[in-house]
Amino acid sequence: MMRHKRVRRKITGTSGRPRMAVFRSLNHIYVQVIDDSRGHTVAAASSLEPVIRENLNNGAPKSDVSAMRATEQGVKGVVFDRGGFKYHGRTKALADAAREGGLVF
């Protein structure tokens, strides 16, 4: 919780560069692209969705659907909010997949 607060103190999303927030549970991973200035979620995806479930490889997403949905909404660059989680494993795999999907961090 303290790591999450420390990260959120420094990161805010704007309409030009929304915040890509990641939440990891024990079994699943959730991503939202959020415009904090309007308090609006631009795009969202989770590992519970059938489209993503088919592309999972040992818990790491091969392709990031949230990146695809964000680029459809006209978002090119984001600010990555790791949510207090360490940048490795599933969090890093998700960030790499988002970069491959066309988002610029």
Segment 2-58, tens digit of pLDDT: 877 777 777 888 888 999 999 999 988 899 999 999 999 999 988 888 877 777 665
> Does 88 reside within a domain?
yes
Asked if residue 105 belongs to a domain, the reply is: no
- CA distances in angstroms from 53 to 9, 13, 46, 49, 96, listed in the order given: 33, 28, 9, 6, 18
Here the tokens at position 61 are 């997403």
Establish if 43 belongs to a structural domain.
yes
Residue 41 located in a structural domain: yes
Sign of CA dihedral 68, 70, 71, 76: negative
CA–CA separation, 98 vs 1, rounded Å?
Answer: 25
Domain membership of residue 12 (yes or no) is: yes
Report how many domains make up the chain. Answer: 1
Domain that includes residue 49, residue range: 2-100
Tokens 């959120």 locate to 8
**Which CATH number is 85's domain given?**
3.30.420.100
The pTM (predicted TM-score) of the whole model is 0.82
